[in-house]
Amino acid sequence: MNSIVILIVMIFFSYVLINLLLQYGLSKKHPLLNHQPTVSILIAARNEEKYLSTCLDSITRLKYPSTLMEVLILDDHSTDATSDIARAFAEHHQNFKLINIQTTLADLRGKMNALTRGIEQSSGEIILITDADCRVPPSWVDEFVKYFTAEVGLSGSMTLLSSAKTPSTILSSIQNLDWIFLQGIAGGTTALNLPVSVLGNNFGFRRQAYNDAGGFQSIGFSLVEDMELMRAIQNKGWRIAYPLRLSTTVESEPVLSLKEFYRQRLRWVKGGSKTSAWGYLLMSASFLAHLGILMPFLTDFVNPVIISGMCSVLLADFIFLFRLLKQFRLKKLMIYFPLFELFYLLYTIFFALIFFIPVKVIWKERSF
- Taken in order of first residue, the domains within the chain and their CATH numbers are 1-33+167-205+253-356 (no CATH), 37-166+206-252 (3.90.550.10)
Structure pTM?
0.91
pLDDT tens-place string over residues 4-62: 778 888 889 999 999 999 999 999 988 899 999 999 999 999 999 999 999 999 999 99
329: helix, strand or coil: coil
**Predicted confidence pLDDT, tens digits, the chain (368 residues):** 577 778 888 889 999 999 999 999 999 988 899 999 999 999 999 999 999 999 999 999 999 999 999 999 999 989 999 999 999 999 999 999 999 998 888 777 889 999 999 999 999 999 999 999 999 999 999 999 999 999 999 999 999 998 877 778 999 999 999 999 999 999 999 999 999 999 999 999 999 999 999 999 898 888 788 999 999 999 999 999 999 999 999 999 998 888 889 888 888 887 777 777 888 888 889 988 988 887 766 666 667 878 888 889 999 999 999 999 999 999 999 999 999 999 999 898 888 888 777 777 776 666 66
Q: What do you get for the CA distance between the two ends of the chain, in Å?
A: 45
Confirm if 159 and 201 have CB atoms less than 8 A apart.
yes
| Distances, alpha carbon 7 to alpha carbons 14, 190, 214, 279, 293, in Å | 11, 29, 44, 21, 13
CA 309, 314, 315, 316 torsion-angle sign: positive
